[in-house]
Amino acid sequence: MDLQSIKNRFGIIGNSPALNHALNTAVQVAATDLTVLIVGESGVGKEVFSQIIHSLSTRKHNPFIAVNCGAIPEGTIDSELFGHEKGAFTGAVDSRKGYFETVNGGTIFMDEIGEMPLGTQARLLRVLETGEFIRVGSSKVQKTDVRVIAATNRELLEFTQKGRFREDLYYRLSTVPIRVSSLRNRKEDILLLFRKFAVDFAERYKTAPIQLDEEARQLLIHYPFPGNVRELKNIAEQISVLSPSPQVSGKEMQVFLPERRENRMPVLSGQPSMQGDFSNEREILYKLFFDMKKDVTELKKMFVEILQNPSLAGSAANFTNESILNDLNTTPDPSNITTVSHNSVVTANNIAGLMAPQSSSGNAVLISNNDIHLHEEVEESLNIMDKEKELIIKALKKHRSKRKDAAMDLGISERTLYRKLKEYDIDE
């Protein structure tokens, strides 16, 4: 079967070299029983590749099932995949077959494999290596013949380095890796896809197909599409329904394109995107605290240089002790500022020293006639886990213990929040 026939059969639009290469790889590996790992951003159509591989394999007449590992709660994923015996846990009133038992002889597509718990990863590795599994609550070893096609929008190799994914399972899954390119790297396919979606929606809603002028086409081509093909399809549907005219100009197109928002949060170089990863948020907080401490240190050094080199502070105006002490009386807490002898004259150098930033404990920079002593106090806590716990508690209070809203405010998934509540023993 040639490549164009496969595209027509599965509704794939596009002629970019990256897309054709991924399709060719899928066709070549389909006839084998090798495990395949499909890598790509959310919305690029990874599940379509799994369907192509199954449909062109010798298992095409046997069952095919798609499982989203990130959507199954951690406490029940073992039961869902491998089944359980009656009484294995609370609520297990009957025995139940898992996916690996019901799909025996077929193909199982495991999306978001990077979200799978470590314990379940060990069970999956055993299935891949020996074809054996054990139901939850049972001691009987059972056999299965299932082809596994996994998919992820994360870099699993980086997860292995952080201990979040088993390295042996990673290499077992990625026997044949297929990388599906993002839409922003397939700009030549954007207008083809939009035209196909526009025609489909015109037939569905009984309207005329949308036509774009040159400016609108350029806006569409240069939009980054973080949601990839899924986002493009949504935009095409919005325009088909809401556009007052079938002819869409560039100005009208701007209304339908989401506003770009730049992420101005500090990010460690070389790190993957956040996408709800709480460990990355921990690194961001640590980096933020480190930068703040570094800024304070640099500020202190600057004041020391001013004290040592009077020319840096501008013209050195002399003030009497009385005028300086009167000014000090206006500060919030005069007891925290070093006092000056009545027999000395305070210069601009001394003023710069008195203006030096105080530590969190309230101790100021100590100044004598010839020496400068910087007395630095360590902050009360730099433990990132304490800061995480504090942020979670604040978010829960803010949203009145509504986990979904609190998780959204924290920028993490509700499942991750639930795990953190158990980990830190936080009462809601």
Q: Tell me whether residue 378 is in a domain.
A: no
Question: Which pTM was predicted?
Answer: 0.60
pLDDT confidence band for 159 (50 / 70 / 90): very high
Q: Which two tokens stand for residue 282?
A: 């921990």
Closest C-alpha among 305, 344, 302, 308 to residue 325: 344
pLDDT confidence band for 307 (50 / 70 / 90): confident
Residue 381, pLDDT score: 58
Shared-domain flag, residues 168 and 188: no
User: Could you read off the pLDDT of 177-228 as tens digits, one per residue?
Assistant: 999 999 999 999 999 999 999 999 999 999 999 999 999 999 999 999 999 9
Total length of the chain? 428
CB 182 within 8 A of CB 45: no
Q: pLDDT exceeding 70 applies to what percent of the chain?
A: 75
Domain end point (choices 181, 210, 240): 181
Closest C-alpha among 390, 373, 372, 370 to residue 381: 390
Looking from the CA of 331 toward its CB, the CA atoms found within 13 Å total 15
Q: Tell me whether residue 278 is in a domain.
A: no
User: Could you read off the pLDDT of 356-365 as tens digits, one per residue?
Assistant: 444 444 444 4
Residue 411, pLDDT score: 83
Q: Tell me whether residue 158 is in a domain.
A: yes
pLDDT confidence band for 425 (50 / 70 / 90): confident
Distance of CA 90 to the CA centre of its chain: 34
- The label of the residue with tokens 């509700």 reads 414
Shared-domain flag, residues 67 and 91: yes
Contacts of 299 (CB under 8 A, 6+ apart): 356, 357
Residue ranges making up the domain that contains 238: 184-256
Going from the C-alpha of 391 to that of each of 265, 285, 399, 402, the distances in angstroms are 16, 11, 12, 14
What average pLDDT does the segment 282-290 reach?
67
Strand, helix or coil for residue 154: coil
Residue 369 has pLDDT above 90, yes or no: no
Q: Tell me whether residue 241 is in a domain.
A: yes
Domain count, the chain: 4
Closest C-alpha among 312, 313, 302, 309 to residue 348: 313
Shared-domain flag, residues 304 and 247: no
Tell me the CATH number at 230: 1.10.8.60
User: Could you read off the pLDDT of 219-244 as tens digits, one per residue?
Assistant: 999 999 999 999 999 999 999 999 98
Strand, helix or coil for residue 190: helix
Most confident of 104-108, 333-337, 360-364: 104-108
